Amino acid sequence: MIGKLNHVAIAVPDLEAAADLYRNTLGATVSEAVDQPDHGVTTVFIELPNTKIELLHPLGENSPIAGFLAKNPAGGMHHVCYEVDDITAAAEKLKADGLRILGDGNPKIGAHGKPVLFLHPKDLCGTLVELEEV
């Protein structure tokens, strides 16, 4: 069901400093910061030859990333994102297998303009997993 790794997301307390680290120290191609109000985050994408790194920073007081950073003040890995061909079929199979989809269970439009779902980390080896339809 899952396809290739789309990205690894890292929550960061200082988005500009993290972007500069990847751009200037590691020599990566770094996108501009984009606010994602529906998800309560600001994102920056680091382009790698085989995948992407998504830097996440809180957008607003109710951001889920603010809570993560309160527990992990230096930042850290937040989630992994895998591609799927059909997010609705994937969601139906996962629910039938007993996995929990976060939120209302319906796909939302993610940072790439495509439908996404998040799966409960307790169901996937302690890792928050995002599925993105490609």
Active site residues: 130
Question: What is the secondary structure of 60-116 as a DSSP string?
Answer: STT-HHHHHHHHSTT-EEEEEEEEES-HHHHHHHHHHTTPPBSTTSS-EE-TTSSEE
Structure tokens at 93: 């199979």
